[in-house]
């Protein structure tokens, strides 16, 4: 069982450290480096994979604090798993407040140590008993999600067409969900505003589709949900985000191939079959869209992705698109389509685009 495996891994690591200390040797923790520099893009597999670079945190005066924190975090994981409990990342941060000097000052510190422990054991944090408190994303459209009642175990059929002007929230753990649908495709949308517009006009009914709001960079749960749904029902996934370097390099890329930070988990948390609908730099010209000038950080982000992102480096069309955007010096928001009328996006833009999915960016 997965839980036993986690306890065994933690105990084995702790025993190793214990023995080294008694042998008067410097104990160390070895974990993969979590950054874009340590991932490679495997087109065949469709996601970022660790290259195997490891960092070794040897116990010394400089590392003693983080070292102690990592061990206490491991101990917390073991307790959570053994008692079948869960804690959010925020709660874990508050637990540390009871560790005196070893406490974390900011949640970002505890998150980083948590990510380290996760990478150390090559398991995801849900298996360690941690759940993210972030919202997983929202769903509306031609889909029935099959879940189970937490107490009675009774099967629940959640009809995503029946949320009216609201939507179904993706839970933090999606592994046991089932799906029923005859939709033709999934549309993943960056902003809640655009999602609302499409839901309000029941655009999913007209196009026989499933709409998912990502609300920025998609969470692990959201990515996993889309992946499982798409795999199970053989549905194409189209992505509709703002036309800026953040939308391309962060939101879309993370959805499709995963993140550099959690590369040890990308295998599960990616949607390799995703295709990019828009807004593309060419759309700005073709649809005569109002724009904003690129900010300093946008340009830096764009150049950075051209230089360092293995995904962008693998795909010529993406390099062209980003270079075009830099050259135009502008960015465009999804909502900019409203220039031609509020419903232009549903009546003209999306149908036009969907008529030629072959032209979508990879």
Closer residue to other proteins, CB minimum distance, 51 or 72: 72
Instruction: Give φ, ψ of 219 to 5 degrees.
Output: -70, 170
Question: Under the criterion CB under 8 A, does residue 228 sit at the interface with other proteins?
Answer: no
Question: Under the criterion CB under 8 A, does residue 74 sit at the interface with other proteins?
Answer: yes
Q: How many residues does the chain have?
A: 362
Q: Which of 45, 54, 60, 297 binds other proteins (CB under 8 A)?
A: 60
Q: Which of 1, 52, 56, 61 binds other proteins (CB under 8 A)?
A: 61
Question: Under the criterion CB under 8 A, does residue 112 sit at the interface with other proteins?
Answer: no
Closer residue to other proteins, CB minimum distance, 79 or 352: 79
Instruction: Give φ, ψ of 56 to 5 degrees.
Output: -115, 120
Residue 219 DSSP one-character state: P
Output the smallest distance, CB 31 to other proteins, in A: 17
Contact predicate 184/235, CB 8 Å: yes
Question: Under the criterion CB under 8 A, does residue 26 sit at the interface with other proteins?
Answer: yes
The structure tokens 């979508």 sit at 360
Q: Which two tokens stand for residue 56?
A: 């070794």
Environment class of residue 2 by beta-carbon count within 10 Å: exposed (0-12), middle (13-18) or buried (19+)?
Answer: exposed
- Name the packing angle between helices 64-82 and 107-121 (round to 10°): 70
Degrees, nearest 5: CA angle 185-171-206: 25
Handedness of CA 348, 354, 298, 108 (dihedral sign): positive
Got the DSSP string for 121-134?
HT--TTTTTEE--S
Count of positions on this chain that bind other proteins (CB under 8 A): 29
Question: Under the criterion CB under 8 A, does residue 56 sit at the interface with other proteins?
Answer: no
Binding mask of the shown chain, residues 231 to 270, with x at each position contacting other proteins by CB under 8 A: ----------------------------------------
Output the smallest distance, CB 15 to other proteins, in A: 6
Q: Which of 17, 158, 299, 326 binds other proteins (CB under 8 A)?
A: 17
Choice among 41, 93, 94, 248 that is catalytic:
94
Output the smallest distance, CB 120 to other proteins, in A: 13
- The yes-or-no answer on residue 94 being catalytic is yes
Closer residue to other proteins, CB minimum distance, 10 or 143: 10
Contact predicate 121/6, CB 8 Å: yes
Look at residue 37 and give its three-state secondary structure.
helix
Question: Under the criterion CB under 8 A, does residue 105 sit at the interface with other proteins?
Answer: no
Output the smallest distance, CB 1 to other proteins, in A: 19
Which positions touch other proteins (CB under 8 A)? 10-11, 14-15, 17-18, 21-22, 24, 26, 59-62, 64-65, 67-69, 71-72, 74-75, 78-79, 99-102
Catalytic positions, written as ranges: 94
């Amino acid at each position: 069982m997965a839980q036993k495996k986690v306890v065994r891994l933690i105990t084995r690591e702790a025993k190793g450290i214990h023995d080294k200390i008694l042998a008067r040797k410097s104990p160390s923790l070895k974990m993969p480096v979590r950054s874009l520099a340590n991932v490679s893009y495997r087109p065949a597999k469709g996601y970022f994979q660790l290259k195997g670079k490891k960092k070794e945190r040897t116990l010394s005066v400089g590392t003693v604090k983080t070292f102690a924190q990592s061990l206490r975090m491991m101990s917390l994981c073991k307790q959570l798993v053994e008692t079948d409990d869960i804690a959010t990342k925020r709660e874990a941060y508050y637990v540390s407040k009871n560790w005196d000097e070893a406490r974390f000052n900011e949640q970002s510190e505890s998150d980083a140590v948590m990510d380290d422990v996760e990478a150390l054991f090559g398991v995801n944090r849900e298996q360690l008993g941690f759940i993210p408190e972030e919202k997983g994303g929202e769903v509306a459209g031609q889909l029935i999600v099959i879940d189970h009642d937490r107490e009675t175990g009774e099967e629940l059929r959640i009809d995503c067409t029946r949320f009216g002007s609201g939507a179904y929230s993706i839970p933090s753990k999606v592994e046991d969900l089932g799906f029923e649908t005859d939709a033709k495709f999934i549309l993943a949308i960056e902003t809640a505003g655009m999602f609302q517009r499409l839901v309000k006009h029941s655009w999913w009914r007209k196009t026989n589709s499933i709409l998912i709001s990502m609300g920025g960079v998609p969470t692990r749960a959201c990515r996993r949900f889309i992946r499982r749904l798409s795999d199970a029902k053989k549905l194409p996934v189209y992505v509709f985000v703002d036309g800026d370097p953040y939308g391309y390099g962060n939101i879309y890329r993370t959805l499709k191939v995963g993140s550099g930070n959690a590369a040890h988990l990308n295998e599960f948390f990616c949607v390799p079959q995703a295709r990019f609908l828009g807004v593309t730099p060419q759309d700005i010209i073709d649809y005569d869209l109002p724009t904003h000038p690129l900010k300093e950080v946008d340009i830096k982000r764009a150049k950075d992705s051209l230089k360092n992102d293995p995904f962008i480096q693998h795909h010529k069309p993406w390099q062209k698109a980003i270079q075009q955007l830099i050259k135009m010096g502008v960015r465009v928001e999804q909502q900019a389509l409203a220039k031609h009328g509020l419903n232009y996006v549903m009546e003209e833009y999306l149908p036009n685009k969907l008529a030629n999915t072959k032209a979508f960016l990879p």
